[in-house]
């Protein structure tokens, strides 16, 4: 049990449909980066042009001169050649049009910053496939899917824009991104400070590596979200695992639970039960990430503060196992059936239609090795420890590569980043990823902004009437920093001339 | 003529013995990094231990997990665990024991800084061959010879030392290097500021790329060295090229000149004449780099201020062609026959026994694309323009790769480096490489130190009784900066605890 549970966590980022059986537990962790900013934006007209730049497949080796087309989007409605700026979204693991359409904050501040918006697609995602349909074929083709190559793409693109777009040459560029994209924004400023005057790294867990933070912090925050959202809520969930175990120890129990949870496919064996627990776990994790203060459309349409709604069904942990699971069903139903149209709950549909899950699962198996664990005491989940050896073996089976868990800290500095400047790290306290984020100022110019009522990169979402004051404050502070960077840029430009 | 001459410059870094015929002209440019710090050091006992670390062949891709042994040397006689420091030589294109034995400055200051000295060998040089004897076989094997991979090796090595050497963990590391090694030291601080508190980049031409500096500046400085070292000296050399052309336009002229220059192999055709001019050019370039104020042992033993000695034979440009070439012979003889033991001058022996010329020629054909040119007006050489297309074609013929001339500036920032901190750029005014170096302060912490009487990284050489005041001053300033970095490191360490 311990052993198997372990595996679930270890494979958190692995993709379904892969050669080895991969339970979907915490698959959400791999998808969180995506799909969390869906918002209809009637106020601002989202219009962009689509462009492509020829990029070297390998920036760091000369044996191949092969190139591929990287896609990027430009929106320049509010751009001013005189005193303007360039906001550069460092695309993460997904289709860039999706990020473009769902990073409302950039569209909201474009006019104020006289900014050109650029959204750069990350290689191996969306249309930017180095080897087309063969890009994910094997480890040879995947060899160029790294954060370093992605950053180099961004650098080349910015250079290209400055050379080819009249008026762009002497303008300050600011990197922005959320989640993995936020990590890239921060790292881009660290590694290519000559390219960008600063970076806004929203919900960027740059310390979710090695032992920089405790591996349990992520699930502890998920748990805290539920604990805070209703009396006994997290306790009810904590007790549900044993209840499931007891209920499913017999054939009739399996049948009963399948009915009680309105599962589309009935549970038939213990493997299904593990799958069930993974699926439920993933649901709670997803909810923690998108616990937004207003109705939003994530995987399914969700009410405002969805965890509060969920917790209304989980007020009493001291009930019979069947009653507890009935309550769990009601809670799950909030997430999967807010519309009321769903006939049964489909355990295989939980995963977001993440555009880049395949690519991310490779990245998690190489550079992006994020240890997660639970102990069942400080969190409401079954205990799973972190086992690098198993993780590595599984990665090798799936991709033919082994993770290098200490590489990211060697490359990007771990907690020793104080010599860098002009990076804003923003985090929502509700977001489990804040546990691996920078939530305290490192220096005067490496600043942390925390949003007590914020879930995953809430600040990057478009303005909303129901935004809590804390996120409005965060955004206004972020704009103030960016304006200062822009001002400093122009001041030093004038000094040069 | 113009066309061919061009080629010579383009191939400056290419190695002799390569598949395509490579004139040795300015080959010195590729070798300058080496062999210029030979000095006997009776005062300080050079004792080190030899170590090896297993490094990934490819830090930036996961398709191969192959490793190789990187060599490094440690000298810890003066190292103090309490309040000490680590001076880390970022090895350049050669055998690391050579650099270790010839960077006297590090040995001279070890005691004062309570420093452990570490000398890290650059991959593909010395014993640190990723594929052993096959390392230079083809572009596939050479694919991992880049500055980025070398910097990653250094980062991993420092991490390894901090983990494994008791007492090293909480000590400040300073990167030091000369020439290409100086570029690496500077770039290492830029890219891995979490690994080193600062860098001393001596004679590091980090701006000898693209159009950051005029391509002619290198040879202009060579010319200036000769102009300053004796009346009419550079003018005599300038006139020598036409004199050679006139003299060698006939068979008897070829014979006469072969005799006059005491050449071991007589000139027989126009190709030999081009070779001769390249060889002479290379000699003047070499002299400019090693125009040290005391007797030193470069390729050949040399007197103090060797250009002054050379120029004593080149006082009168207004003489007959034969007389001018007799004078040129006397001048060459200073360089090739200071000992008086040489029977004839060997045009193929000019090149330094550079340990890493093969590797460097590949690097020059990939990342290290340094444009050079002459116009015959601002310099004393025949006019050669810079032709990237031809250079690229030649590289492709030799190595099967094409240079990416703008990559280095994309990667390392070109002139836009002001956001970095704690780098000392030292340059000697006599050193032709100072033309591509940082010779004015960029900021308060990116400082330039110039040594008016200095040739190529004179400051890294051991103390010498004949050192001019300017280099003593430079070294003492360098030590002062390093002490400040060390002090700041310990101050911030104390603040943390």
- Report the gap between the CA of A177 and the closest CA in chain B (Å): 21
Percent pLDDT > 90 in chain A is 85
A212 touches A366 (CB < 8 A): no
Is the pLDDT assigned to residue B51 strictly greater than 60?
A: yes
B56, B146, B192 ranked by CB distance to A61: nearest: B146
Chain B positions touching A495 (Cβ under 8 A) are: none
List the end-to-end C-alpha distance of chain A, in Å, as a whole number.
Answer: 69
Chain A positions touching B491 (Cβ under 8 A) are: none
Would you place residue B298 in the very low, low, confident or very high pLDDT band (cuts 50, 70, 90)?
low
Cβ–Cβ below 8 Å for A142 and B414: no
Would you place residue A13 in the very low, low, confident or very high pLDDT band (cuts 50, 70, 90)?
very low
pLDDT in tens, A345-378: 998 865 455 445 789 999 999 999 999 999 999 9
Query: Which pLDDT score is estimated for A10?
Result: 29
Is the pLDDT assigned to residue A218 strictly greater than 60?
A: yes
Choosing from B275, B420, B456, B457, which is the catalytic residue?
B456
Would you place residue B423 in the very low, low, confident or very high pLDDT band (cuts 50, 70, 90)?
very high
Average pLDDT over residues A69-78: 98
Alpha helices in B11-95 (DSSP H): 28-31
Name which of B63, B137, B392 to mutate to probe chain A: the one with the most chain A Cβ atoms within 10 A of its Cβ: B63
Single out the residue of A199, A5, A182 nearest to residue A87, CA to CA.
A199
Query: Which pLDDT score is estimated for A349?
Result: 67
The mean-pLDDT minimum among A310-319, B19-28, B93-102, B214-223 falls in B19-28
Question: Could you tell me how many CB contacts below 8 A there are between chain A and chain B?
Answer: 93
- To the nearest whole number, what is the mean pLDDT of chain B? 90
Walk me through the domains of chain A, giving residue ranges and CATH numbers: 49-207+415-496 (3.40.50.1820), 216-337 (1.20.120.980)
Tokens standing for residue B427: 């340059």
- Report the gap between the CA of B140 and the closest CA in chain A (Å): 6
A62, A401, A492 ranked by CB distance to B139: nearest: A62
Q: Which residues on adjacent β-strands are paired with residue A79?
A: none
The pairing of beta strand A67-75 with beta strand A49-56: antiparallel
Report the C-alpha gap between A168 and A156 in whole angstroms. Answer: 14
Cβ–Cβ below 8 Å for A410 and B152: yes
**Cβ neighbours of residue B459 closer than 8 Å, sequence gap 6 or more:** B105, B202, B426, B428, B449, B451, B471, B474, B475, B478
Chain B positions touching A492 (Cβ under 8 A) are: 418
Report the C-alpha gap between A211 and A332 in whole angstroms. Answer: 33
Cα A61 versus chain centre, distance: 30
Distances (CA, A) of B53 to B123, B157, B170, B211, B450: 12, 7, 21, 38, 36
What residues of A act catalytically? 179, 431, 456
Chain A positions touching B148 (Cβ under 8 A) are: 60
Chain A positions touching B65 (Cβ under 8 A) are: 401-402
A63, A155, A413 ranked by CB distance to B143: nearest: A63
Report the C-alpha gap between B144 and A68 in whole angstroms. Answer: 21
A143, A191, A414 ranked by CB distance to B63: nearest: A143
CA nearest A421 in B: which residue?
B419
Report the C-alpha gap between B194 and A416 in whole angstroms. Answer: 6
Say which residue the tokens 């965890």 belong to. A307
Query: Which pLDDT score is estimated for A290?
Result: 92
Report the C-alpha gap between B109 and A369 in whole angstroms. Answer: 41
Query: Which pLDDT score is estimated for B339?
Result: 85
Name which of A194, A207, A488 to mutate to probe chain B: the one with the most chain B Cβ atoms within 10 A of its Cβ: A194
Tokens standing for residue B304: 């103090």
- Report the gap between the CA of B353 and the closest CA in chain A (Å): 27
Cite the beta strand spans of A196-255 per DSSP E.
Answer: 198-202
* Count of C-beta atoms within a 10 Å radius of residue B83: 11
Alpha helices in A70-212 (DSSP H): 96-101, 104-109, 147-164, 180-191
- Report the gap between the CA of A486 and the closest CA in chain B (Å): 15
**Cβ neighbours of residue B357 closer than 8 Å, sequence gap 6 or more:** B15, B16, B27, B30, B31, B351
Query: Which pLDDT score is estimated for B96?
Result: 95
- Report the gap between the CA of A4 and the closest CA in chain B (Å): 27
Cβ–Cβ below 8 Å for B413 and A152: no
Query: Which pLDDT score is estimated for A26?
Result: 36
A300 vs A86, residue with greater confidence: A86
Cβ–Cβ below 8 Å for A410 and B142: no
Report the C-alpha gap between A459 and A451 in whole angstroms. Answer: 8
B61, B142, B148 ranked by CB distance to A144: nearest: B61
**Interior angle at CA B230, CA B225 and CA B232, nearest 5:** 100
- Report the gap between the CA of B448 and the closest CA in chain A (Å): 18
Query: Which pLDDT score is estimated for A37?
Result: 42
Is the pLDDT assigned to residue B394 strictly greater than 80?
A: yes
Average pLDDT over residues A404-417: 98
Choosing from B128, B147, B179, B202, which is the catalytic residue?
B179
Would you place residue B296 in the very low, low, confident or very high pLDDT band (cuts 50, 70, 90)?
confident
* Count of C-beta atoms within a 10 Å radius of residue B235: 18
**If DSSP codes are grouped into helix, strand and coil, which group holds residue A266?**
coil
Tokens standing for residue A438: 């920078």
CA nearest A149 in B: which residue?
B60
Report the C-alpha gap between B338 and A249 in whole angstroms. Answer: 95
Chain B positions touching A416 (Cβ under 8 A) are: 194
Query: Which pLDDT score is estimated for A348?
Result: 80
The mean-pLDDT minimum among A40-54, A427-441, A481-495, B390-404 falls in A40-54
Would you place residue A497 in the very low, low, confident or very high pLDDT band (cuts 50, 70, 90)?
confident
CA nearest A56 in B: which residue?
B404
Q: What is the DSSP letter of A57?
A: S
Cβ–Cβ below 8 Å for B159 and A419: no
CA nearest B140 in A: which residue?
A63
Single out the residue of B176, B124, B119 nearest to residue B145, CA to CA.
B124
Query: Which pLDDT score is estimated for B46?
Result: 86
| Secondary-structure percent of chain A, ordered helix, strand, coil, rounded to 5 | 40, 10, 45
pLDDT in tens, B176-227: 999 999 999 999 999 999 999 999 999 999 999 999 999 999 999 999 999 9
Chain A positions touching B56 (Cβ under 8 A) are: 404
As separate numbers, helices (DSSP H) first and strands (DSSP E) second, chain B gives 17, 10
Report the C-alpha gap between A451 and B487 in whole angstroms. Answer: 37
Name which of B193, B194, B413 to mutate to probe chain A: the one with the most chain A Cβ atoms within 10 A of its Cβ: B194
**Cβ neighbours of residue B337 closer than 8 Å, sequence gap 6 or more:** B300, B345
List the end-to-end C-alpha distance of chain B, in Å, as a whole number.
Answer: 69
Query: Which pLDDT score is estimated for A297?
Result: 76
Report the C-alpha gap between B379 and A91 in whole angstroms. Answer: 49
Judge whether B467 counts as a catalytic residue.
no
Would you place residue B350 in the very low, low, confident or very high pLDDT band (cuts 50, 70, 90)?
low
Strands, sheet with A67-75, edge to edge from the N-terminal-most edge strand: A49-56, A67-75, A115-120, A85-90, A173-178, A198-202, A423-428, A446-451
Query: Which pLDDT score is estimated for B356?
Result: 58
A153 vs A6, residue with greater confidence: A153
Report the C-alpha gap between B209 and B206 in whole angstroms. Answer: 7
Single out the residue of A264, A389, A288, A212 nearest to residue A28, CA to CA.
A288
Chain A interface residues (partner B, CB cutoff 8 A): 56, 58-63, 65, 139-140, 142-144, 146, 148-149, 152, 155-156, 159, 191-194, 366-367, 401-402, 404, 406-407, 410-411, 413-414, 416-422, 492
**If DSSP codes are grouped into helix, strand and coil, which group holds residue A2?**
helix
Choosing from B95, B321, B431, B467, which is the catalytic residue?
B431
Chain B positions touching A212 (Cβ under 8 A) are: none
A62, A63, A410 ranked by CB distance to B155: nearest: A410
Is the pLDDT assigned to residue A454 strictly greater than 90?
A: yes
- Count how many Cα atoms sit within 13 Å of the Cα of residue B466 in the half-sphere of its side chain: 11
CA nearest A445 in B: which residue?
B419
CA dihedral sign, ordered A467, A473, A476, A481: negative
Single out the residue of A91, A102, A99 nearest to residue A128, CA to CA.
A91
- Report the gap between the CA of B198 and the closest CA in chain A (Å): 11
**If DSSP codes are grouped into helix, strand and coil, which group holds residue B282?**
helix
Give one DSSP letter per residue of B244-274, joined into a string.
HHHHTTSHHHHHHHHHHTTBSS---SHHHHH
């Amino acid at each position: 049990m311990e052993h198997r549970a372990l595996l679930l966590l270890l494979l958190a980022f692995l993709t379904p449909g892969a050669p080895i059986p991969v339970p979907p537990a915490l698959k959400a962790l791999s998808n969180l980066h995506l799909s969390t900013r869906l918002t209809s934006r009637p106020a601002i007209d989202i219009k962009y042009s689509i462009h492509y730049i020829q990029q070297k497949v390998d920036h760091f080796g000369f044996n191949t001169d092969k190139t591929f087309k990287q896609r990027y989007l430009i929106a320049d409605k509010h751009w001013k050649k005189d005193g303007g700026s360039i906001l550069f979204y460092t695309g993460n693991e997904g289709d860039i049009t999706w990020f473009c359409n769902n990073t409302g904050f950039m569209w909201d501040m474009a006019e104020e910053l006289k900014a050109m918006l650029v959204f750069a697609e990350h290689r191996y995602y969306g249309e930017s496939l180095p080897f087309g349909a063969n890009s994910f074929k094997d480890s040879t083709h995947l060899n160029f899917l790294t954060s370093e190559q992605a950053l180099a793409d961004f650098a080349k693109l910015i250079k290209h824009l400055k050379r080819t777009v009249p008026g762009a040459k002497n303008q300050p560029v600011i990197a922005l991104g959320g989640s993995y994209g936020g990590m890239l924004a921060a790292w881009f400023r660290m590694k290519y400070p000559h390219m960008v005057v600063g970076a806004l790294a929203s919900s960027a867990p740059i310390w979710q590596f090695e032992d920089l933070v405790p591996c349990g912090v992520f699930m502890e925050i998920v748990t805290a979200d539920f604990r805070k959202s209703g009396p006994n809520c997290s306790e009810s969930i904590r007790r549900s695992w044993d209840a499931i175990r007891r209920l499913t120890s017999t054939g009739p129990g399996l049948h009963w639970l399948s009915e009680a949870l309105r599962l589309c496919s009935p549970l038939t064996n213990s493997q299904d039960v593990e799958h069930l627990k993974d699926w439920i776990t993933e649901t709670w994790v997803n909810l923690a990430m998108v616990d937004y203060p207003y109705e939003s459309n994530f995987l399914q349409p969700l009410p405002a503060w969805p965890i509060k709604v969920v917790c209304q069904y989980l007020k009493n942990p001291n009930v019979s196992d069947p009653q507890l699971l009935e309550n769990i069903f009601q809670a799950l139903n909030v997430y999967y059936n807010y519309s009321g149209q769903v006939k049964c709950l489909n355990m295989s549909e939980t995963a977001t239609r993440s555009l880049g899950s395949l690519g991310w699962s490779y990245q998690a198996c190489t550079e992006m090795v994020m240890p997660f664990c639970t102990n069942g005491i400080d969190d409401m989940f079954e205990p799973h420890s972190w086992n690098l050896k198993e993780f590595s073996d599984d990665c090798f089976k799936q991709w033919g590569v082994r993770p290098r868990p200490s590489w990211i800290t060697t490359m990007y500095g771990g907690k020793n980043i104080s010599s860098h400047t002009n990076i804003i790290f923003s985090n929502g306290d509700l977001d489990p990823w804040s546990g691996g984020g920078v939530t305290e100022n490192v220096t005067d110019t490496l600043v942390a902004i925390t949003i007590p009522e914020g879930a995953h990169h809430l600040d990057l979402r478009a303005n909303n009437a129901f935004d809590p004051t804390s996120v409005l404050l965060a955004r206004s502070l972020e704009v103030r920093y960016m304006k200062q960077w822009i001002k400093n840029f122009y001041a030093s430009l004038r000094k040069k001339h």
